[in-house]
């Protein structure tokens, strides 16, 4: 892995390169021991583990924890409200997810659940506004929600979307209020050909999933941000390997057609304000890590 | 005998009130409960939440220095890391507790 510190002008310095284990496919920052110092966790796809590099040792010391077979996706958040970050991996080798809840001492309380053939993704969000992070994941051609009881234990899965084409997976899941009703909605890949939107109503119901086709075989990743600063959430995607698309939200659950940004080979992206000007910028990675600064 | 009949009538009425109350409570949406509005079906063609056509795409006025709602403009990207192998994972946050955004990639 490589890390860089940001400056207030949208540049980076202090490059550090460290090993992160065998087959790191996803990486996340978190504070797993609640010491106020950021730690770094990555999946080890080929070792069925996650590795943590601890911030208090300037990321020199590391530990690993077991997951299911082939952890490919990783999300981090405090699942039980104890101030320590926890993690969930999507394990594509044995169709499971692993939930790791940090103990007050050393180690994690690990729980691996079978979620169905072809699982590929996991996301955390408070879907029922009770203050606890819930888990969204795919598997067996379904996009499912597991509600958190507040202690990092989760209820039976609730199906939000059933793939109309069989066991098609939902490889990327994003959550935000896209229609302005105060409740979080879900936008996900449906395979690599479609996006699917599931809107939550004020009564806790979920509307009928809406599908939208993109260029066949191209859709890789979805996030939701207000990219044009108009107060409405927009959909940001990687489509193909050389295009980032931005679908501007209208605030009512509909979106513009794609605003296309051509990029070098890109496998992942993140959105943040890197130069502290109040506008969201795009950092994307592939063979290079490149920064696109907003230029209003 | 009459006393038993009265007791039975009282219990029956009580049960009815309790059941009526439970039914009324069940109809009120409660926080944290998932309610289904309608069966899951695929949206028909033409009902996409992504609008089609050129009119749906907002025309940006890049770099005019005036932020308007809907402006969507970026400066040409700058490379900050070049690797011999592709970086598939990326995250941003504050590694050193500072005000500026840092990144990690693998």
Per residue in B74-95, pLDDT (tens digit) is: 887 889 888 888 899 999 999 9
pLDDT (0 to 100) of residue B63: 63
Chain A residues within 8 A of B97 when measuring between CB atoms: 36-38
ipTM, 2 dp: 0.96
The C-alpha R_g of chain A, in whole angstroms, comes to 19
pLDDT (0 to 100) of residue B68: 63
- Look at B101 and A263 and tell me if their CB atoms are within 8 Å: no
Per residue in B62-73, pLDDT (tens digit) is: 666 665 666 688
pLDDT (average), residues A272-291: 94
Q: Which residue has the higher pLDDT, B15 or A198?
A: A198
**A236 pLDDT higher than 50:** yes
**A290 pLDDT higher than 60:** yes
Alpha helices in chain B (DSSP H): 2-27
Q: Are A65 and A107 in contact (CB under 8 A)?
A: yes
CA-CA-CA-CA torsion sign (B75, B81, B86, B91) = negative
pTM: 0.86
Spell out where B1-106 has E strands. 35-36, 78-82, 90-93, 102-105
**B21 pLDDT higher than 60:** no
**A153 pLDDT higher than 80:** yes
pLDDT (average), residues A279-288: 94
How many CA within 13 A on the CB side of residue B21?
Answer: 6
**A293 pLDDT higher than 90:** yes
B:8-67 residues touching chain A, CB 8 A cutoff: 29-43, 47-54, 56-58, 60, 62-63, 65-67
Report residue A217's pLDDT band, with 50, 70 and 90 as the boundaries: confident
CA distance B82 to A72: 23
CA-CA-CA-CA torsion sign (A92, A154, A65, A20) = positive
Q: Which residue has the higher pLDDT, A222 or B58?
A: A222
Q: Which residue has the higher pLDDT, B35 or A268?
A: A268
**A83 pLDDT higher than 60:** yes
SS3 B16: helix
pLDDT (0 to 100) of residue B6: 54
pLDDT (0 to 100) of residue A251: 95
**A224 pLDDT higher than 60:** yes
A:148-207 residues touching chain B, CB 8 A cutoff: 158-159, 161-162, 164, 195, 197, 201, 203-207
Q: Which residue has the higher pLDDT, B14 or A158?
A: A158
The average confidence (pLDDT) of chain B is 67
pLDDT (average), residues A114-136: 96
Q: Which residue has the higher pLDDT, A156 or B64?
A: A156
A:246-265 residues touching chain B, CB 8 A cutoff: 246-248, 250, 253-259, 261, 263, 265
The average confidence (pLDDT) of chain A is 95
- Look at B87 and A209 and tell me if their CB atoms are within 8 Å: no
**B4 pLDDT higher than 70:** no
- Percentage of residues of chain A with pLDDT beyond 90: 91
Task: Name the residue among B29, B81, B102 with its Cβ closest to that of A288.
Answer: B81
pLDDT (0 to 100) of residue B39: 40
Query: Residue A249 is encoded by which pair of tokens?
Result: 């939200």
Report residue B57's pLDDT band, with 50, 70 and 90 as the boundaries: low
pLDDT (0 to 100) of residue B52: 74
CA distance A179 to A187: 12
CA distance A144 to A161: 7
pLDDT (0 to 100) of residue A7: 96
Task: Name the residue among A5, A205, A269 with its Cβ closest to that of B37.
Answer: A205
């Amino acid at each position: 892995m490589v890390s860089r510190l940001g400056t207030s002008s949208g540049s980076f310095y202090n490059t550090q390169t460290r090993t992160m284990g065998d087959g790191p496919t996803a990486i996340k920052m978190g504070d797993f021991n609640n010491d106020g110092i950021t730690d770094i966790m990555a999946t080890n796809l080929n070792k069925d583990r996650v590795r943590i590099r601890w911030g208090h040792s300037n990321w020199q010391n590391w530990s690993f924890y077991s997951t299911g077979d082939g952890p490919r996706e990783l999300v981090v958040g405090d699942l039980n409200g104890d101030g320590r970050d926890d993690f969930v991996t999507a394990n594509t080798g044995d169709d499971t997810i692993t939930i790791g809840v940090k103990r007050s001492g050393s180690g994690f309380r690990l729980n691996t659940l079978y979620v169905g053939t072809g699982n590929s993704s996991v996301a955390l969000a408070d879907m029922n506004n009770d203050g606890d992070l819930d888990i969204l994941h795919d598997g067996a051609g379904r996009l499912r929600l597991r509600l958190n009881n507040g202690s990092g234990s989760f209820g039976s899965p609730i199906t939000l979307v059933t793939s109309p084409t069989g066991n098609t997976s939902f490889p990327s899941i994003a959550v935000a209020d896209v229609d302005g009703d105060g409740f979080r909605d879900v936008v996900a890949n449906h395979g690599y050909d479609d996006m699917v939107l599931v809107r939550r109503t004020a009564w806790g119901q979920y509307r009928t999933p809406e599908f939208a086709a993109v260029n066949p075989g191209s859709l890789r990743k979805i996030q939701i941000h207000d990219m044009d600063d108009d107060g409405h959430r927009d959909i940001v995607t990687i489509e193909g390997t050389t295009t980032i698309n931005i679908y501007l939200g209208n605030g009512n659950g509909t979106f513009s057609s794609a605003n296309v940004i051509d990029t070098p080979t890109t496998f992942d992206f993140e959105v943040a304000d890197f130069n502290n000007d109040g506008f969201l910028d795009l950092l994307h990675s592939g063979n290079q890590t490149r920064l696109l600064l907003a230029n209003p | 005998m009459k006393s038993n009949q009265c007791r039975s009538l009282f219990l029956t009425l009580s049960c009815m009130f309790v059941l009526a109350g439970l039914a009324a409570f069940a109809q009120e949406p409660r926080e944290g409960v998932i309610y289904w509005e309608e069966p899951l079906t695929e949206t028909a063609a033409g009902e996409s939440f992504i609008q089609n056509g050129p009119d749906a795409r907002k025309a940006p006025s890049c770099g005019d220095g005036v932020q308007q709602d809907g402006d969507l403009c970026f400066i040409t990207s700058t490379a900050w890391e070049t690797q011999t192998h592709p970086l598939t994972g990326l995250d941003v946050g504050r590694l050193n507790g500072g005000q500026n955004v840092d990144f990690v990639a693998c």
